[in-house]
Amino acid sequence: MTYDYSPRVLQQWDWPDQGEAYRQKFEHEQRRAVFWQARALTAEARLAKAEPKQAPLAS
């Protein structure tokens, strides 16, 4: 895919609007990452508590 950097295209591009859209997308992805990290920590804690303590194997 080639990009068109002609003056007409550059003048038509809504720079402030695109900047705002990218900022909102970035903030949304940050919130998603925090949410899923918290879910992973909760699941790990639950698994650690639920795992039965296994006696060490005699060798």
Q: Is residue 1 part of a domain?
A: no
> In the chain, how many domains are there?
1
pLDDT value of residue 6:
85
Q: In the structure encoding, which two tokens stand for residue 38, read together?
A: 């918290």
Q: Is residue 57 part of a domain?
A: no
- Structure confidence by residue, pLDDT tens digits, 32-43: 999 999 999 999
Range of the domain at 30: 7-50
- Is the pTM value of this prediction over 0.75? no
pLDDT value of residue 4:
80
Alpha carbon distances (Å) from 15 to 2, 4, 27, 50: 20, 15, 18, 52
Q: Is residue 55 part of a domain?
A: no
- Structure confidence by residue, pLDDT tens digits, 2-45: 778 888 887 887 888 889 999 999 999 999 999 999 999 999 99
Greater confidence, 27 or 48?
27
